[in-house]
Structure 1
């Protein structure tokens, strides 16, 4: 019975477009890795399209330049979150 419930829940999640993401994501960088709390951003922003223009999933073209413009820019605009190198990059 438990297997049926789990399989049904998994099938519903896959067909409904629900995406389960890692709570914390680590992005490798020369200046030190950047640890990003994805769950915290989901809870605060509530709208995936703020960061994911095409909806939930991998961000196309994401890299250093996009992170500095988009992430750092959002933090500066909202007056919340890190904006200095050492606040994101940890060696």
Structure 2
């Protein structure tokens, strides 16, 4: 039974990863943000860095979480955009 549950969980995870959009556009007042999801998947390798509850939409994702999580990660890794105009394009 445990093997069946593990196989189902793995299948759901793999399907979620395979179906994820390559690029996501997030609307914002000061210019939309284009997020290269595929590049982040390839670079980070671990979905749980962003998707703590597993594959799918990040619950409560918005301006505050993006600035804390995304910008914070970019600053920590010294890679990626950290200034407003580097993400927000009008």
Quickly name the TM-score band, shorter chain normalised: 0.7 to 0.9
Alignment of 1:32-51 (within 5 A): 32-51=31-50
Please identify runs of 4+ aligned residues in structure 1 that moved more than 4 A. Answer: none
Task: Structure 1: state its 5+ residue gaps.
Answer: 1-14
TM-score (norm 2): 0.84
CA RMSD of aligned residues (A): 1.7
Deviations 1:36-71 (A, max 9, x none): 000000000000000001011110000000000000
Which has the greater radius of gyration? 1
TM-score (norm 1): 0.83
Task: Structure 2: state its 5+ residue gaps.
Answer: 1-9
**Number of aligned residues:** 79
